[in-house]
A = this chain, B = another copy of it.
Amino acid sequence: MRPGPYERHRELLQSVVRAIAAGECRRPFTEATGQDAADAGMRSTRTAGKVFRSLLGRPFELGQPGELGRVRTESSPYGLAPPIDYPRCDPAELIAAAGRAAAGWRAAGPYQRAGLAVEILRRLNTRSHELALAVHHTTGQPLQGALRAAGPRAQDRALEAVAQAFAESERVPADLHWKSAERGGQPLQGTCTLVPRGVSLLVGCPDFPLWNGCPGLFASLVTGNPVVVAPHPRSVLPLAITVRVARQVLAEAGHSPDLVTLAVAEPERQVHRRLATDPAVRIVDYTGPARFADWLEQHARQAVVFANRTGLNTVVVDSTDDYRRLVRGLALASCRCNGTVRTTPQNILVPERGFTTDEGHKTLRDLGADLGDAVDRLLGHPARAARALGAITADEVRGALTDAARYGPVLHASGPVAHPDHPYADLRSPLLVRLRASDERVYTREWPGPVSFLVGTESTSHSLALLRRTVARHGALYTSVHSTDPLVLAAAGTAALDAGVHLVENLDDLPADPSSALAELPGSGVNFVTGRFRVVRSRRHAPPSAPVPAPTRLEVDAALADV
Q: What residues make up the interface of A, taking CB atoms closer than 8 Å to B?
A: 20-25, 27, 30-31, 34, 103, 106, 168, 171-183, 186, 188, 190-195, 297-298, 301, 321, 458-459, 461-462, 464-465, 486-488, 490-491, 493-498, 500-507, 509, 511, 515, 517-518, 520, 523-527, 530-531, 533-541, 545, 548-551, 555-556, 559-560, 562-563
Contacts and interface: CB of A to CB of B under 8 A. Distances in A.
Nearest to A479: B538
Contact of A488 (B23, B190, B507, B559): B559
Contacts of A559: 461, 487-488, 490-491
Contact of A556 (B106, B490, B501, B535): B490
B526 A171 contact: yes
A486 B27 CA distance: 46
- Give how many copies assemble into the complex: 2
25 contacts: A21-B173, A23-B192, A24-B176, A180-B517, A182-B517, A188-B518, A191-B493, A193-B497, A459-B562, A461-B563, A464-B560, A464-B563, A465-B560, A486-B548, A487-B551, A490-B551, A491-B556, A491-B560, A500-B534, A502-B538, A504-B540, A507-B540, A526-B535, A530-B531, A531-B531
Contacts of A459: 562-563
A30 B183 CA distance: 14
B525 A172 contact: yes
A563 B497 contact: no
B21 A106 contact: no
Nearest to A533: B525
Contacts of A520: 537
Contacts of A515: 182
A555 B494 CA distance: 12
A205 to B, nearest CB: 21
Nearest to A538: B503
Contacts of A507: 188, 539-541
A496 B534 contact: no
A128 to B, nearest CB: 16
Contacts of A540: 504-507
A236 B536 CA distance: 32
Nearest to A20: B173
Given A487-B559, A490-B550, A494-B560, A541 B506 contact: yes
A505 B24 contact: no
A494 B525 contact: no
Given A321-B545, A506-B540, 14 more contacts: A23-B177, A24-B177, A103-B498, A178-B517, A191-B493, A458-B563, A490-B556, A505-B538, A506-B541, A507-B541, A524-B536, A526-B530, A527-B534, A530-B530
